[in-house]
Amino acid sequence: MPFFDFHLHPTLKGMFSLDTSKTDPWVKIDVHAINWKLRWCSDFQNILCSQSNLSQLIGNNCNLVCVALYSPEHAISSDQFLNKQAQGTLSKYLDPRQLDLINAPGANPYELMKTDLTEVLLKPERFNVRDKKIVPLRKGIEYDPHDDTSLYVAFTIEGCHSLASTYDKNNIQANDIIRNLRDLTESQNIPIISVNLTHIEQYKFCNHAYGILFVTSEEFKPRQKEISEDGITILKECYSRKIMIDLKHMSLGARRFLVEQLRPKPEFAAINQPLICTHSGFTGLSFSDVPDYMDYHDEKNKDYGYVLWNKPKLYGQNAITAFNPSSINLYNEEILAILVSGGMIGLSLDKRILGYSDPGNRPDALNDLAFEEEYISLLEKDYFLTKPILGAKMNDAFCITAQEVLEGGEVNPDAAFYHLCHFMSHILHVVRVAGDNGYDVTRALTQVCIGSDFDGLINPIWCCPTMESISHFKTEFVSHFNDYADANADKVRLPAGFDIHAFADRLFFENGKEFLMDRLSKI
């Protein structure tokens, strides 16, 4: 059976190469070009490696995907670390001349994104590929699940800044975003199923959740509130065109504002589309639990604050897994809202998003609680600080310790069961949230799929580090999930008649395929 992926970036890592020497999206990146110190002391080679280039997708029977169209933010392309690497052996992938073009005052993010689409992704012949095809699923084009020479694609847009004609935040207007969205869908005839209002840098349309750790910039710190009037204008345009809004990367306040305040308004009644989150993890928490797992302080003379999270432990088999409670992930009420709306959740294959923590190698710190860090806008801190006392459950009765992480076993490409457990915990949690709220669990299990985020900037789980492991990943899931569910039967029960083989087929292909085909019929 084929595989489906709700969110990946097969050409992203070539966007930093010059057009005259464009990185070939059909071949693997040479990780030996990474500075040896980075390879030795970090996971950078796992982040930079080709996780889902076009050959990997077609060659591993993943022939139906949603490709994220994206233009790199200036806070990334101007980052000192990135530009330093562009001066060394990585220059063939991080060409300083291309970085200069992206960072130039007149750079046009929409044209950069469109050029990457039309001149790289949709032109296999440019790279001397004659026996494979990229097939956008426009109206009238039939998807063939048995076609092993084609990659069938629909598109999402990751961040409204990617639709802007300028990087100048003072001059970006909603009308410009809408005009370019119409150009892409009408003039270019590109099937767009969803849009992220925001991504990882602060723009005026929508506040974002803090989401990038390995580069530093004040622009990554959330400082706004909810969704602006311009953002609402863009949202209405998308909904009226039956384009969904992806909750991923929106701040907690923005997501709650959309779900609780905007969508119930009469003006939205006729245009609301399903809620989706294409590449997500779960926090394991309800809104009311948030203060219990966090410590907080305002940053001096800043318009954002700092949050230290400890990580809730809910499920396990011999060893306990944890969730990442950072607000880039979904809370229980949001999982339910997506299900009730008829939407879909794509599970990321980023180990940090799925809740895994590196335990470190300090013997004196084994009893320390694992943690995550993030920044939140002062304008939205009331969404988090809902109790007078914070951190009531920041102890080892409720939160995972470094020692408990170590008990999960060695985690490397040859021994990755503990990462699989984190993924399986997410499936159990969908069942639990649905069941606890009276939602049909069998239906809920048709509303989850894979949204790997491969070839983005993720550090993948080692039970599926690249698309070349997707079949093995599915086999391991089938082999272990029933036992994992039995080990957690005191917390969650699978529906009667649950068939692991049928469910795995749905999870890895059919759920996403059916949802995507339904959406394409509407746009």
Predicted pLDDT of residue 358: 84
Element spanning 417, H or E: helix 417-436
Element spanning 109, H or E: helix 109-116
Measured at the CA of 69, the angle between CA 63 and CA 70, to 5 degrees, comes to 140
Cα(194)–Cα(196) distance, integer angstroms: 7
Cα(77)–Cα(69) distance, integer angstroms: 17
Q: Domains in the chain and their CATH numbers?
A: 4-520 (3.20.20.140)
* Structure tokens that stand for 389 in this block: 């006392």
H helix runs in 249-385, sequence order: 252-256, 266-269, 332-340
- Which of 219-223, 255-259, 414-418 has the weakest average pLDDT? 414-418
What would the mean pLDDT of 77-90 be, rounded to a whole number? 74
Predicted pLDDT of residue 414: 62
Q: Contact 373/207 with Cβ under 8 angstroms? A: no
Q: Assess whether pLDDT exceeds 60 at residue 341.
A: yes
Element spanning 65, H or E: strand 64-69
Cα(312)–Cα(306) distance, integer angstroms: 19
What would the mean pLDDT of 68-93 be, rounded to a whole number? 80
What would the mean pLDDT of 88-104 be, rounded to a whole number? 84
Phi, psi of 93 (to 5 degrees): -105, -35
Q: Assess whether pLDDT exceeds 70 at residue 363.
A: no
Q: Contact 185/193 with Cβ under 8 angstroms? A: no
Buried b (16+ CB within 10 A) or exposed e, 378-402: ebbbebbbeeeebbeebeeebbbbb
- Bridge partners (DSSP) listed for residue 69: 157
pLDDT in tens, 6-50: 999 999 989 988 888 899 999 998 877 766 555 555 677 778 889
What would the mean pLDDT of 273-282 be, rounded to a whole number? 98
Q: Contact 393/399 with Cβ under 8 angstroms? A: yes
Residue found under tokens 């409670």: 325
CB contact set of 58 (below 8 Å; sequence gap of 6+): 132, 148, 149, 150, 151
- Assign 237 to helix, strand or coil: helix
Element spanning 239, H or E: helix 229-240
Q: Contact 512/450 with Cβ under 8 angstroms? A: yes
Predicted pLDDT of residue 40: 54
* Structure tokens that stand for 33 in this block: 């070009």
Q: Residues of the chain with pLDDT > 90: what percent?
A: 78
pLDDT band at 400 (very low <50, low <70, confident <90, very high): very high
- Bridge partners (DSSP) listed for residue 487: none
* Confidence (pTM): 0.96
**If you average pLDDT over every residue of the chain, what do you get?**
92
What is the distance, to the nearest Å, from the Cα of residue 334 to the centroid of all Cα atoms in its chain? 15
Predicted pLDDT of residue 215: 60
What would the mean pLDDT of 452-473 be, rounded to a whole number? 94
* Structure tokens that stand for 523 in this block: 């746009």
pLDDT in tens, 386-396: 999 999 999 99
Buried b (16+ CB within 10 A) or exposed e, 115-145: ebbeebbbebeebebeebebbbbeeeeebee
Q: Contact 48/31 with Cβ under 8 angstroms? A: yes
For residue 112, the 8-state DSSP code is: H
Predicted pLDDT of residue 47: 80
- Bridge partners (DSSP) listed for residue 313: 322
Nearest to 413 by CA among 360, 461, 365, 473: 461
- Assign 316 to helix, strand or coil: strand
Q: Contact 272/239 with Cβ under 8 angstroms? A: yes
Long-range contacts of 176-180 (CB under 8 A, 24+ apart): 177/205, 177/234, 178/233, 178/234, 178/237, 180/110
pLDDT in tens, 167-220: 988 899 999 999 999 999 999 999 999 999 999 999 999 999 998 765 667 889
